Amino acid sequence: MALTSKVLVLAALLSCACIGEAGSKLAITDGKLPSPEFGHGRGWVAKNVEVSASNGTPMWDVRARLGVEVAGVNRIRYGTLPDGFIEYVAAQPLVSGECYKIATDAAPAGGEVMRFHVVGDHVVAGCDPLR
C-alpha cells in the first residue's frame, strides 16, 4: 500500500467517531476485516442483525431463535453466529471501497442503523468511501 493510501486510511480511522446514524449508539468496536465487530452500550441486547450492501443485497442476516433468552449479546462479530441465533443469510465478504448498512432490532431500546464502508482492511463509520 502506498504511503499516501496508508495516511488516508490512518486519518479516516483516527477521525472516525465510529458512531452510527444520527441518534444511534451502535458503534464499530473492532474494525479489522474480515470480521469486524459492532456493539452497543450496556443494557442493549441484539435480537436481529442484518447487513446489506448499498444496493440492498443481503450480506449477512442473523436472528435470535424465538423463545430463546439472548441476554448479554451486546456485541456482534460479522460472520460469527452468536449462541441462540439462526443464520438466514451466510456472511459474504466485505469489499474495500463499498458501502454497507447494519440494522439491528434490539431490546430494550428498539432498532439501530449504521452505515459503514470498507477502507483497505478496516471498516469505517459513514458512507463516503475513500477511493
Q: What is the pLDDT of residues 67-85, one digit of tens each?
A: 766 666 778 889 999 888 8
CATH 2.60.40 at 3-125, yes or no: yes
pLDDT score at 90: 96
Cβ-contact 68, 92 below 8 angstroms: no
Q: Which residues pair with 115 in a beta bridge?
A: 101
pLDDT > 50? residue 33: yes
Cβ-contact 83, 94 below 8 angstroms: no
Closest CA to 103 of 41, 56, 33: 56
The whole-model pTM stands at 0.72
Cβ-contact 54, 101 below 8 angstroms: yes
